[in-house]
Amino acid sequence: MSTQPSRRSFLHGSAALLAASSLADVAAARTRAGREDVLRIALVGCGGRGTGAAIQALSTAGPVHLVAMADAFRDRIDSSLAEIVAAHPERVDVPESRRFVGFDAYRSAIDLDVDVVVLTTPPGFRPLHFEYAVQKRRHVFMEKPVAVDAPGVRQVLEAARAARELRLKIGVGLQRHHDPAYQETIAHLHDGAIGRVLLYRCYWNSSGVWTRAREAGWNEMTYQMRNWYYFNWLCGDHIVEQHIHNLDVCNWIQGATPVRAQGQGGRAVRTGPDSGEIYDHHAVEYTYADGTRMLSQCRHIPGCWESVSEHAHGTLGTCEVSAARIESEGGWSWRHRGDPVDPYQIEHDRLFAAIRADQPHDEAEVGAQATMTAILGRMATYSGRVVTWDEALASNLRLAPTRYAFDADPPTRPDEHGRYPVAVPGVSVAL
Amino acid sequence: MRAHLLRSVPLLSLLLQQATARYPEAPPGLAPAVPVEGADAAGAAEMQRYTEVIPGTSARFEMVPIPGGSFLMGSPDDEPGRNTDEGPRHRVELAPLWMGACEVGWNEYQPFQLQLDRQLRAAGKAEAVEQDRWADAVSRPTPPYVPMDFEMGVDGFPAISMTQFAARQYTKWLSMKTGRFYRLPSEAEWEYACRAGTTTAYSFGDDPKALERYAWYFDDSEDAYHPVGKKAPNPWGLFDMHGNVAEWVLDAHAKDFYGTLPADAPAVSPVNWPTEAYPHVVRGGSWDDDPERLRSAARRGSNKGWKIQDPQVPKSIWYLTDARFVGFRVVRPLVPPPPEQWARFWEADVASIREVYERQRHGER
């Protein structure tokens, strides 16, 4: 039932990771290559997003079959399977023997004769699952973020290097990269439409997300797994889990990651025992190497100004990136026009096309950098300090429990009033 | 594959029974009416305009009396821009009701959508009223992942991007809060009120050039909705029936529905009750539409594309990620139906919606 995700036993270097993939895997890969062009998928993480991702994978061109499903909870597999079958009855072949439940379920699913693994569990598990999938030489679609702490980001970067050497195709769920409106807008910015960018602003200010009430019979580990959004070892806080999209867009335009950050945040409204340990607001000022700043806000408070957007201010004009609108000095303006498309589908279409054509498709590093940018912001708001990229990435603060099991100790526990310890700026160790 | 599905169902239903109820049960009986000046009428002759107040919030909105009567529904064959689903024209008889002078705004919708009424109470900024015991038992939308106004504005602007089910649950919540029976208009009621006795393409005549005085549409909206009630009203005092946001009605969209009604007698309060999730009817056209979609008789059906960018499956039963042109307005019949029929106007009426609704109601996702 339990896995020991020991950092000590982790093989350092992509060569070691390559060596870890066994001869049997190589043989399996050959068999797969020799088979007709059916791509076989394992879904690891069967929540709403995983179900959506699986349906999108099954909607790509050419034969694709879902053959295995894994989740910590049996009921998630059942509800997910019902939805996927309803969407693609002829492309699902997941008998009881290929439905795997528990913390180790990912191994059983990935070990099967599958070509592509869809990793859509809460992000805390992503480094472990991604590393294992690469070791088994599987192509991967994984949701963002790809980690919740710096050791996890390093683990993903290491596995990404191995994946590149193995010519594996890796898609990451930063779907804005596949949205024509974003692509065209950012191409204009790279062509100098607003001159040199001096300042970015980006926001994910919304009213928050779901909670699940504690049920009788749940132990603390079950409660945290069911309410994963509110626990950092699973979610990374909403600056990591959601705001990553907007931070990633600014990095994309800048063509770089920030060198340092400072910020502030806290729990102003969402303070109840049902809200775990994450903040309800963060505001971060990032600095890139050339001095360009990025001001970022994310908030989970209902009834306030809401915005999910990115903006760039340059020497020659401004751009509402998320609205695909550019206004430059001298009266030149531009606006993207086009029918709405589904970038979530396009990201799968491109990944699967690359797999079939054996063309490069490698989004893991960009995903890891975007993830680290968001983690850097959390380190800044939790600590209240200026945090540099280098010290953040080198951090050895691991958020995961020592053991993954329902009878294991979760990394945090509520006090007698049901409240969890929360980071205190100026006091807490955040990296 | 069907076998897998069937096997999974008993387990799921077992889990549902064990789950903790997240919403309280409503008390027996009906929520008593909150007294509001002018809201009561012994008969049609006494109906007057009144201002509805949502207790425990600062939200208010105007209700306008719409006389009972009959009219010719649909458009003549020679109306420019006409679609075939607008015929045959047929006579419809309707009972008196009040209709919202304006589309429902975020100021009214957000207390329901974001549970702001509960928060105000929790923060000591509002007292619980008797009606809250009923209203708190109404399921609320899940938190939206992104701002559902799509940053076009909140204060004074029309609420948008809700599913027809979410709009109907709002009318239930509103009914509980006020103790008066509110619901969506039927398609026939909507067109009757829009025409306001006129037989032309628009309630102001046939010339789309005059639209700018009455409506926010593609040519004058600058790609966004506008605050409600800023253009000229129709002859019965209703604003934005043409344009601004398209408006949900109760009916399913069937192209041939008018042809199924008896030809020799007026249809009395017809409703094409939905049995599927798509298509439902929206009326009146929107800020994003050309003039022909704003005509009094123009009908439009919803489709799955209105949720295309929702990345979760099952897709939200509350939100439309790709229909920032859809809103609604409410009506209140002078003579409400008996309470045992109210559920038909308010509750999840399609199996796929009901399934998700039940899960969420019991605290699951």
Whichever domain contains A215, its CATH number is 3.30.360.10
The number of distinct structural domains making up chain A is 2
pLDDT at position A332 is 84
* Residue labelled with tokens 């639209």: B211
Residues A18 and A70 in one domain: yes
Lay out the sheet containing B326-327: strands in order across: B299-301, B280-283, B246-252, B326-327
Answer whether residue A28 is part of any domain: yes
Provide the pLDDT for residue B363: 79
Confidence of residue A258 (pLDDT cuts 50, 70, 90): very high
Lowest mean pLDDT among A171-180, A349-358, B120-129, B252-261: B120-129
Helix (H, G, I), strand (E, B) or coil at A88: coil
A160 is a domain residue: yes
Supply the CATH number for residue A32's domain: 3.40.50.720
Residue A328 has pLDDT above 50, yes or no: yes
Q: Show the domain range for A386.
A: 179-338+373-393
Domains of chain B, first to last: 50-361 (3.90.1580.10)
Evaluate whether residue A410 is within a structural domain: no
The residue type of A63 is: P
pLDDT at B14: 37
Shared-domain flag, residues A298 and A326: yes
What's the mean per-residue pLDDT of chain B? 92
**What average pLDDT does the segment A255-276 reach?**
97
**Is residue A255 domain-shared with residue A141, that is, in the same domain?**
no
Same domain for A210 and A168: no
Give yes or no for residue A1 having a pLDDT over 50: no
Local structure of residue A112 (DSSP, 8 states): S
Do A25 and A51 fall within a single domain? yes
Which residues does chain A have within 8 Å of residue B151's beta carbon, measured at their own beta carbons?
306-307, 309
Q: What's the confidence (pLDDT) of residue A17? A: 54
Position A282 in a domain: yes
The predicted model gives A271-286 an average pLDDT of 97
Better-predicted residue by pLDDT, A413 or B19: A413
Listed by number, the residues of chain A in 94-113 with a beta carbon closer than 8 Å to a beta carbon of chain B are 94-96
Q: Which of A65, A69, A78 to mutate to test the interface with B (most CBs of B within 10 A)?
A: A78
A47 touches chain B (CB under 8 A): yes
CB A223 within 8 A of CB A73: no
- Tens of pLDDT, residues A64-106: 999 999 999 999 999 999 999 999 999 999 999 999 999 999 9
Q: Does a structural domain hold residue A203?
A: yes
Q: Are residues A155 and A66 in the same domain?
A: yes
Among all chains, which residue has been given the structure tokens 């009144």? B50
- Let me know if residue A416 belongs to a domain: no
Average pLDDT over residues A34-59: 92
pLDDT tens-place string over residues A114-159 = 999 999 999 999 999 999 999 999 999 999 999 999 999 999 999 9
* Segment (H or E) for A201: strand A197-206
Identity of the residue in A175, A210, A342 whose CB atom sits nearest the CB atom of B142:
A210
Q: Is the pLDDT of residue A231 over 70?
A: yes
Same structural domain for residues A169 and A183? no
Least confident of A44-53, A147-156, A329-338, A354-363: A329-338
Q: Which pLDDT score is estimated for B227? A: 98
A76 in the same domain as A213 = no
Same domain, A65 and A159: yes
Average the pLDDT over each of A14-28, A33-47, A296-310 and give the range with the smallest value.
A14-28
SS3 annotation, B100-115? ECCCCEHHHHHHHHCC
Q: Does A225 share its domain with A110? A: no
| pLDDT at residue B123 in the model | 87
Contact B15 A207 (CB under 8 A): no
What pLDDT does residue B3 have?
A: 36
In a domain, A14, yes or no: yes
Percent of chain A residues past pLDDT 90, beyond the cut: 88
Whether residues A116 and A201 fall in one domain = no
Question: What pLDDT sits at residue A331?
Answer: 80
Instruction: Answer whether residue A422 is part of any domain.
Output: no
Task: Give the residue ranges of chain B where pLDDT is below 50.
Answer: 1-20
Mutation to test the B interface, candidates A56, A214, A342, A344, most B Cβ within 10 Å: A342
In this predicted complex, what is the ipTM? Answer: 0.78
Same domain, A236 and A90: no
Residue-averaged pLDDT of chain A: 92
Cis ω before B96 (30° cut-off from 0) = no
